[in-house]
Amino acid sequence: MLSRHTSRPNNPALAAALRSLGIIDGWGNGISAMRMRCMEEGTPEPIFELRDDETMVCFPMDPDSLLAATISHDDPLSSAPLARTDLPAIQSTARDRAGQQNIGLTLNDEKVLAMIDIDGRLTASRIAKNLNISESTVRRSFRRLRELGLIDRVGSDKSGFWQVK
């Protein structure tokens, strides 16, 4: 659910009606929108729990609540909150590749990578605004992450997007 996937409504007619009424803006971008908003606000990402017939989304109020939710489950395989597992792997890969190629990877580089992983359509100016850094710093991060083979640009500069490998 946290990685890129296709999304189809169970009831396409209802989804179309909700979209025409302006209640929803589209289909398939809600999870990334929630995660991006949490990142922008500096709050923990939501916890998604998949069940047979439903999806539960929990927005932790603070890091202590997140820790308590993670520890309180008895069966870690079926009921533990689904934490973002691939982002630390991405950061670890980024650090390893940077070390191998003697390229310094900054904390800003890792934050830019995290934001691109959530939404590859983000512009340098929006990332800069969200991270409170300059656009040129974001562009340097793009360059380093590209050199490390962690991201690619798909499409044109104007209408394309960043893709995390």
Domain that includes residue 24, residue range: 12-71
Domain count, the chain: 2
Q: Is residue 57 part of a domain?
A: yes
Q: Is residue 134 part of a domain?
A: yes
Residues 97 and 31 in one domain: no
Q: Provide the 10 A C-beta neighbour count for residue 128.
A: 20
CA-to-CA distance for 80 and 59, rounded, in angstroms?
15
Residue 84 — very low, low, confident or very high, per pLDDT cuts 50/70/90?
very low
Q: Is residue 2 part of a domain?
A: no
CA-to-CA distance for 77 and 5, rounded, in angstroms?
22
- The answer to pTM > 0.85 is no
Least confident of 38-42, 101-105, 106-110, 144-148: 101-105
Residues 102 and 51 in one domain: no
Whether the per-residue pLDDT at 69 is higher than 70: the answer is: no
Task: Calculate mean pLDDT across residues 129-144.
Answer: 90
Q: Is residue 1 part of a domain?
A: no
The CA–CA distances, whole Å, from 75 to 51, 70, 71, 78, 79 equal: 14, 11, 10, 6, 6
- CA 94, 100, 103, 106 dihedral sign is positive
Residue 138 — very low, low, confident or very high, per pLDDT cuts 50/70/90?
very high
Residues 112 and 151 in one domain: yes
Q: What is the three-class DSSP state of 57?
A: strand
Residue 140 — very low, low, confident or very high, per pLDDT cuts 50/70/90?
very high
Q: Is residue 5 part of a domain?
A: no
**CATH code of residue 118:** 1.10.10.10
Whether the per-residue pLDDT at 74 is higher than 60: the answer is: no
Residues 67 and 104 in one domain: no
- Which pLDDT belongs to residue 121? 86
